[in-house]
């Protein structure tokens, strides 16, 4: 490459000197011009070389390790010494620990819709738990007491599963096993989504993005593994002040610690594979919880026990290893951050901010926002805004206690015992708060002095200005983010499914051009996927296809039924 540039310089210089001599320029002027010309070309070649390095920069491999239903306070890196988790402790020694990472919704499917799109669930229409039940299919009714079908909300224009952009830029994307996004996934999102997914299935040294989702620490495992071996003594666990200190509570806490040990072993296997393949050092690894812990007052609660999550990021070459970062980072930020780390500019529609990478946001967030609506068959509506110091929660239905009667949660021994003790008047004031109705219209907590959020400061005169400020911030966000929570769910469904069925994308059109077969989508923000007849994986269409290959194609968009399949046959 350099030899080619030098030849270019010499050829151009020779031609210029001859022209100048023939036109009668003096020797000193010719020499001065020659020197300036050489300098100009050398600088230009250096710039071209620099640009070449930038454009050919190796794209990083990125892995997400996702723990279901876990709060930070049970992990050694966040100060709990109850159980050793050597693989996660090793990861945090190589990475950065975040102390203000949060989920926008304290339950899995809405939170996952945020992670995969970079959007607030209340903007997407995925704020209720759950809208689309993948095991039931569109149209079925997953909750017998509600006349609500399983459906995919019609998301705002331009919203896509962000992994589509990775695939367009050469990434191999693999996910497993969760596809619970509160909407029906699109084919463009993953090269593979299954229990057997692995980056080793990619082609050659293709960059990859792989998600490993672990359900061993899910809420359901508290009762399903209740009789399994315990790796900690229940007598040695710390009981938070909002729980009664009983044998049943201690046992459930010990089950969760034991499940974390099982989680650590599974994560260790992935880390071992990365090291065996020689790619650990330069792979970016996210470890995080998909919302707060599996217990009552954790999962489905807007307190930090429900929205604060563990987050560790290991950067290439272990940059900033062993440090702590207190920035506010929400799930809406993960998608734009991954794209930015991959050198891809995040689309403008995303509400999150790229925290790292080539397109890092210039301004940091001052607040995070959180929502709580329907949980399974029970409706409620709360909104919250959080800073590093304060949390403000507003309830729109104070008649209901925070402890909604969610049938799924009622299977947990701890939950049943708390209900019984509350009814018998055996819980102290702090333990009874969560189960008491009516609940406050407004709650304000000082997270620094009251991390368990047990002392509501909303009525204190000295914090009146703080309360009004947070109230104002929340009201503005509700408007700016187009929060759909104020609308009854049936009204939204009627808008999105006017005839009771998902809208259908129209047929694709094709046009023969000099570049090949161009495929025209029926809707400008629809994605086109295609494959050859023998292929099993759909590819993302981004340029005209060769005229001499047969293929099938279809259009897809979140909230729509796919278009009919277009079949192109070579004549």
The pLDDT assigned to 19 comes to 42
Average of per-residue pLDDT across 356-384? 97
Q: Indicate the pLDDT class of residue 142, thresholds 50, 70 and 90.
A: confident
Is residue 34 predicted with pLDDT exceeding 80? no
Is residue 39 predicted with pLDDT exceeding 50? no
* Per-residue tokens: 407: 């049938």
Q: Indicate the pLDDT class of residue 14, thresholds 50, 70 and 90.
A: very low
Average of per-residue pLDDT across 81-95? 98
Q: What is the pLDDT of residues 70-86, one digit of tens each?
A: 999 999 999 999 999 99
- 565: nearest Cα among 504, 500, 488: 504
What is the distance between the alpha carbons of residues 304 and 66, in angstroms, rounded to a whole number? 19
What is the distance between the alpha carbons of residues 137 and 148, in angstroms, rounded to a whole number? 13
Catalytically annotated residue among 16, 45, 108, 217: 108
Average of per-residue pLDDT across 237-260? 98
Q: What is the pLDDT of residues 282-305, one digit of tens each?
A: 999 999 999 999 999 999 999 999
| DSSP per-residue codes, 325-353 | E---EEGGGHHHHHHHHTT-PPPTT--S-
Average of per-residue pLDDT across 341-349? 98
Is residue 31 predicted with pLDDT exceeding 60? no
The pLDDT assigned to 124 comes to 98
Contacts of 180 (CB under 8 A, 6+ apart): 108, 109, 112, 130, 134
Q: What is the pLDDT of residues 509-554, one digit of tens each?
A: 999 999 999 999 999 999 999 999 999 999 999 999 999 999 999 9
Q: What is the three-class DSSP state of 256?
A: helix
- 303: nearest Cα among 291, 315, 290: 291
Q: What is the pLDDT of residues 467-487, one digit of tens each?
A: 999 999 999 999 999 999 999
Average of per-residue pLDDT across 181-193? 97
Is residue 354 predicted with pLDDT exceeding 80? yes
In our burial notation (b when 16+ CB lie closer than 10 A, e otherwise), range 13-44 reads: eeeebeebeeeeeeeeebeeeeeeeeeebeee
What is the distance between the alpha carbons of residues 381 and 308, in angstroms, rounded to a whole number? 19
Q: Are 80 and 74 in contact (CB under 8 A)?
A: yes
- 268: nearest Cα among 293, 285, 243: 285
The reply to whether 16 belongs to the active site is no
Mean pLDDT for the chain overall: 91
Distance of CA 129 to the CA centre of its chain: 17
The pLDDT assigned to 194 comes to 93
Q: Indicate the pLDDT class of residue 141, thresholds 50, 70 and 90.
A: confident
What is the distance between the alpha carbons of residues 522 and 433, in angstroms, rounded to a whole number? 53
What is the distance between the alpha carbons of residues 302 and 385, in angstroms, rounded to a whole number? 10
Q: What is the pLDDT of residues 376-406, one digit of tens each?
A: 999 999 999 999 999 999 999 999 999 999 9
Is residue 167 predicted with pLDDT exceeding 70? yes
Is residue 26 predicted with pLDDT exceeding 80? no
- 89: nearest Cα among 427, 254, 321: 321
Is residue 57 predicted with pLDDT exceeding 90? no
Is residue 42 predicted with pLDDT exceeding 80? no
What is the distance between the alpha carbons of residues 552 and 568, in angstroms, rounded to a whole number? 6
Helix axes 27-55, 2-22, angle to 10 degrees: 150
Q: What is the pLDDT of residues 417-436, one digit of tens each?
A: 999 999 999 999 999 999 99
- pLDDT more than 90, % of the chain: 87
Angle at 155 between CA 377 and CA 545, to 5 degrees: 130
Whether the upstream peptide bond of residue 474 has omega within 30° of 0, thus cis, is no
- pLDDT more than 70, % of the chain: 90
């Amino acid at each position: 490459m350099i030899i080619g540039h030098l030849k270019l310089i010499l050829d151009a210089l020779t031609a210029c000197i001859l022209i100048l001599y023939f036109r009668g320029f003096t020797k000193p002027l010719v020499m001065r011009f020659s020197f300036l010309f050489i300098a100009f070309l050398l600088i230009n070649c250096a710039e071209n070389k620099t640009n070449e390095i930038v454009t050919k920069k190796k794209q990083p491999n990125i892995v997400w390790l996702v723990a279901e239903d876990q709060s930070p306070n049970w992990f050694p890196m966040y100060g709990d010494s109850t159980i050793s988790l050597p693989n996660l402790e090793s990861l945090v020694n190589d990475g950065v620990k975040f102390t203000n990472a949060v989920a926008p919704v304290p339950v899995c499917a809405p939170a996952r819709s945020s992670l995969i799109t970079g959007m607030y669930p209340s903007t997407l229409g995925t704020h209720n738990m759950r809208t689309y039940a993948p095991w039931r299919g569109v149209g079925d009714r997953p909750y017998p007491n509600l006349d609500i079908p399983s459906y995919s909300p019609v998301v705002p224009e331009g919203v896509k599963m962000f992994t589509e952009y990775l695939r367009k830029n050469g990434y191999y994307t693999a996910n497993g096993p969760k596809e619970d996004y509160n909407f029906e996934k699109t084919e463009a999102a993953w090269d593979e989504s299954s229990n057997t997914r692995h980056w080793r299935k990619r082609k050659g040294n293709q960059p990859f993005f792989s998600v490993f989702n672990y359900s061993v620490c899910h809420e359901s495992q508290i009762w399903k593994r209740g009789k399994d071996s315990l790796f900690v003594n229940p007598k040695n666990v710390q009981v938070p002040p909002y729980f009664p200190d009983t044998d049943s509570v201690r046992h459930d806490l010990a089950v969760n610690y034991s499940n974390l040990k099982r989680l650590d072993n599974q994560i260790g296997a992935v880390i071992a594979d990365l090291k065996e393949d020689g790619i650990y050092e330069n792979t970016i690894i996210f470890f995080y919880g998909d919302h707060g812990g599996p217990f009552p007052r954790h999962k489905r609660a807007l307190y930090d026990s429900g929205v604060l999550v563990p987050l560790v990021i290991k950067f290439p070459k272990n940059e900033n290893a062993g440090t702590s970062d207190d920035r506010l980072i929400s799930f809406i930020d993960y998608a734009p951050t991954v794209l930015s780390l991959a050198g891809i500019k995040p689309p403008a529609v995303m509400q999150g901010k790229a925290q790292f990478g080539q397109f890092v946001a210039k301004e940091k967030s001052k607040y995070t926002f959180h929502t709580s609506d329907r949980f399974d068959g029970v409706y409620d509506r709360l909104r919250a805004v959080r800073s590093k110091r304060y949390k403000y929660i507003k309830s729109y239905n104070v008649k209901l206690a925070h402890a909604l009667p969610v049938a799924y949660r009622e299977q947990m021994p701890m939950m049943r015992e708390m209900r019984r003790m509350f009814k018998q008047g055996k819980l102290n004031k702090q333990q009874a708060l969560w189960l008491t109705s009516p609940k406050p219209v407004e709650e304000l907590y000082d997270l620094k002095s009251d991390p368990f959020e047990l002392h509501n400061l909303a009525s204190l005169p000295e914090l009146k200005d703080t309360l009004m400020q947070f109230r104002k911030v929340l009201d503005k966000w509700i408007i700016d983010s187009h929060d759909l929570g104020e609308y009854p769910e049936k009204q939204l469904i009627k808008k999105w499914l006017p005839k009771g069925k998902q809208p259908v994308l129209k047929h694709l059109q094709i046009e023969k051009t000099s570049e090949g077969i161009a495929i025209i989508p029926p809707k400008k923000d629809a994605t086109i996927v295609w494959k050859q007849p023998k292929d099993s994986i759909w590819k993302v269409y981004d340029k005209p296809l060769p005229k001499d290959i047969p293929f099938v194609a279809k259009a897809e968009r979140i909230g729509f039924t796919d278009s009919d399949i277009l079949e192109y046959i070579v004549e």
